[in-house]
Amino acid sequence: MPTLTEKKPTRPTSRHHGRPLPELIFGDLWEFDPAPETADPKLKARYDLFIGGRFIAPQSGKYFDSINPANEQKLAEIAHAGAADVDAAYQAARKAFDTVWGRMPGKERAKYIYRIARLLQDRAREFAVAETMDGGKPIKESRDFDVPMAAAHFFYHAGWADKLDYVAPGRRVAPLGVVGQVIPWNFPLLMLAWKLAPALAMGNCIVIKPAETTSITALKLAEIFQDAGLPPGVVNIVTGFGDTGAAVMSHPIAAKVAFTGSTEVGKIIMRSLAGTDKKMTMELGGKAANIVFDDAPINQAVEGVVNGIFFNQGHVCCAGSRLLVHEPIAKEFLAKLKNRVRVLRLGDPLDKNTDIGAINSKEQLGKITELVNSGVKEGAEMFQPACKLPLRGYYFRPTIFSGVSMSHRIAREEIFGPVLSVLTFRTVDEAIEKANNTAYGLSAGVWTDKGSRILKMSTELKAGVVWANTYNKFDPASPFGGYKESGFGREGGRQGLLDYCQLV
Interface pattern 121-160 for Mg ion (x via CB under 5 A): -------------x--------------------------
The Cα 198–Cα 327 span in angstroms is 44
Q: CA dihedral in degrees (93, 97, 98, 100; nearest 10)?
A: 120
Q: Which amino acid belongs to residue 2?
A: P
Least distance to Mg ion from the beta carbon of 245, Å? 17
- Asked whether position 273 contacts ligand NAP by CB under 6 A, the answer is no
Of the pair 285, 349, the CB lying nearest ligand NAP is at 285
Helix (H, G, I), strand (E, B) or coil at 215: coil
* Residue span 194-233 as binding mask against ligand NAP, x where in contact by CB under 6 A, dash where not: ---------------x-xx---------------------
Distance CA 292, CA 449 (A): 10
- Kindly list the strands in the beta sheet with 3-5, ordered across the sheet, starting from the edge strand earlier in the chain: 3-5, 381-384, 399-402, 419-425, 322-326, 289-292, 443-447, 465-468
Q: Which is nearer to ligand NAP, 398 or 482 (CB)?
A: 482
Judged by CB under 6 A, does residue 161 bind ligand NAP?
no
Choose from ligand NAP, Mg ion, none: what does 66 bind? Cβ within 5-8 Å by kind: Mg ion
241 forms part of the interface with ligand NAP (CB under 6 A)? yes
Q: Which of 148, 58, 160, 152 is nearest to 106 (CA)?
A: 160
Convert 466-477 to b/e letters by CB count within 10 Å (16 or more is b).
bbbeebbebebe
184 binds, among ligand NAP, Mg ion, none (CB under 5 to 8 A by kind): ligand NAP
Considering only residues 426 to 485 of the shown chain, the ones binding Mg ion according to CB under 5 A are: none
CB atoms within 10 A of CB 18: 6
- Binding residue count for ligand NAP, defined by CB under 6 A: 29
Least distance between Mg ion and beta carbon 66 (Å): 4
CA angle at 232 for the pair 227 and 238, rounded to the nearest 5°: 95
Can you tell me the distance from the alpha carbon of 490 to that of 314, in angstroms, rounded to the nearest whole number?
A: 22
Q: Does 94 bind ligand NAP (CB under 6 A)?
A: no
Residues 376-415 vs ligand NAP: string with x where CB under 6 A? --------------------------------------x-
Q: Which does 211 bind (CB under 5 to 8 A by kind): Mg ion, ligand NAP, none?
A: ligand NAP
> Quick one: what does residue 134 bind among ligand NAP, Mg ion, none, with the CB cut-off 5 to 8 Å set by partner type?
Mg ion
Segment contacting ligand NAP by CB under 6 A, of 257-265, 388-396, 429-437, 453-461: 257-265
State how far Cα 393 lies from the chain centre. 21
Annotated active-site residue in 126, 212, 317, 485: 317
Instruction: Give the binding range for Mg ion (CB under 5 A) out of 205-213, 217-225, 311-319, 496-504.
Output: 205-213
Determine, following the binding rule CB under 6 A, whether residue 495 of this chain makes contact with ligand NAP.
no
Please state the closest distance from residue 262 (CB atom) to ligand NAP, in A: 3
Instruction: Give CA–CA dist 146/286, Å, rounded.
Output: 20
Determine, following the binding rule CB under 6 A, whether residue 283 of this chain makes contact with ligand NAP. yes
Report the run of H or E that residue 175 belongs to, with start and end: strand 173-175
**What one-character DSSP code corresponds to residue 21?**
P
Residue whose C-alpha is closest to residue 214's, from 196, 245, 240: 240
Rule CB under 5 A: choose which of 9, 66, 138, 496 binds Mg ion: 66
Q: Establish if 213 lies at the interface with Mg ion (CB under 5 A).
A: yes
Task: Give every CB contact of residue 496 below 8 A, 6+ residues apart in sequence.
Answer: 194, 198, 479, 480, 490
- The active-site residue out of 126, 141, 212, 283 is 283
SS3 129: helix
Cross-strand bridge partners of residue 383: 4, 400
Host H or E run for residue 3: strand 3-5
Q: Looking at 60, 262, 374, 469, which residue binds ligand NAP (CB under 6 A)?
A: 262
- Annotated active-site residue 433? The verdict is no
Residues in contact with Mg ion by the rule CB under 5 A: 66, 134, 213
Residues with active-site annotation: 283, 317
Interface ranges with ligand NAP (CB under 6 A): 182-186, 209, 211-212, 241, 245-246, 249, 260-262, 265, 268-269, 283-286, 317, 414, 416, 442, 482, 486-487
